[in-house]
Amino acid sequence: MLGHVLEALTGSGLAASAGLNAYIPLLTMGLLARYSDLIELPSGWSWLSNGWVLTILALLLAVEFFADKIPVVDSVNDVVQTVVRPTAGGLAFGAGSSAETVTVSDPGQFFSSNQWVPVVVGMLIALGVHGIKAAARPVINAGTAGVGAPVASTAEDATSVFMSLIAIVLPFLVLFFLVAIVLAFVWLLRRRRGRKRERQAARAAGFRV
């Protein structure tokens, strides 16, 4: 039972990481499976550690890395990634939740009777995180005249890397990341409502003048 919970947390952490950057968790799993004993991918997901797959993921990551740090381009990239990140999240959850990591010696067949369930769960998690990221970026860009874009993007990339590693090595810490994501969503809602009230107040003041 504990093994299933930990592997579910591993999958959740990797999917949330994909919501920030589609390629980091997949590349992390592939590299660790190929060059370390930290994770052993199940046979159905062993292609993630293939050399060609790792090379393609690295190239896509390089494109994403630079595109996400340019104001306006980052928002266009977020639109494109609306499909890519949830897809990567589904793959990450599916591979991570059924993989054998150093944390769990006998994970068993997680959701063995419904193999599609982990993929859908991962897609939903990644889509939720992606939605928060995509909605927050215009707010950050507007509030900092675009200067905050590379800073925010770098922080998101670092968080994605850290979360991917934590999900594999110390999956119980993923709970803290999930709580932080919820808090970020609450902050974003309050921020957007505050900006809406400011615009309404500005328009009302203009009419009075």
Tens digit of pLDDT for each residue in 157-185?
999 999 999 988 888 888 887 787 778 76
- Residues 120-145, mean pLDDT to the nearest whole number: 84
Which 3 state secondary structure label does DSSP give 71?
Answer: coil
110's tokens? 């997680």
Quick one: pLDDT at residue 91? 85
187's tokens? 């902050």
More confident residue, 164 or 189: 164
What is d(CA 154, CA 64) in angstroms, rounded to the nearest whole number? 11
Confidence of residue 96 (pLDDT cuts 50, 70, 90): confident
pLDDT exceeds 50 at position 120? yes
- Residues 13-17, mean pLDDT to the nearest whole number: 91
Residue that is written with structure tokens 């799993």 in the block: 29
Instruction: Tell how far CA 196 is from the center of its chain.
Output: 28
pLDDT exceeds 60 at position 111? no
Confidence of residue 99 (pLDDT cuts 50, 70, 90): low
Confidence of residue 109 (pLDDT cuts 50, 70, 90): very low
36's tokens? 């370390």
Whole-structure pTM value: 0.77
At position 88, the amino acid (one-letter code) is: A
Count helices and strands (H / E) in the chain: 7, 2
Cα 74–76–77 angle (5° rounding)?
60
What is d(CA 81, CA 104) in angstroms, rounded to the nearest whole number? 32
48 contacts 33 by C-beta, under 8 angstroms: yes
What is d(CA 174, CA 93) in angstroms, rounded to the nearest whole number? 13
What is d(CA 170, CA 204) in angstroms, rounded to the nearest whole number? 52
pLDDT tens-digit profile of 43-73?
777 888 999 999 999 999 999 999 999 888 8
Which 3 state secondary structure label does DSSP give 107?
Answer: coil
Quick one: pLDDT at residue 106? 44
Look over the chain and give the mean of its residue pLDDT values, rounded to a whole number.
Answer: 80
Q: How far is CA 204 from CA 56, 190, 192, in A?
A: 53, 21, 18
Quick one: pLDDT at residue 187? 73
pLDDT exceeds 50 at position 156? yes
25 contacts 164 by C-beta, under 8 angstroms: yes
- Residues 109-118, mean pLDDT to the nearest whole number: 56
Q: How far is CA 194 from CA 98, 159, 190, 207, in A?
A: 43, 27, 6, 20
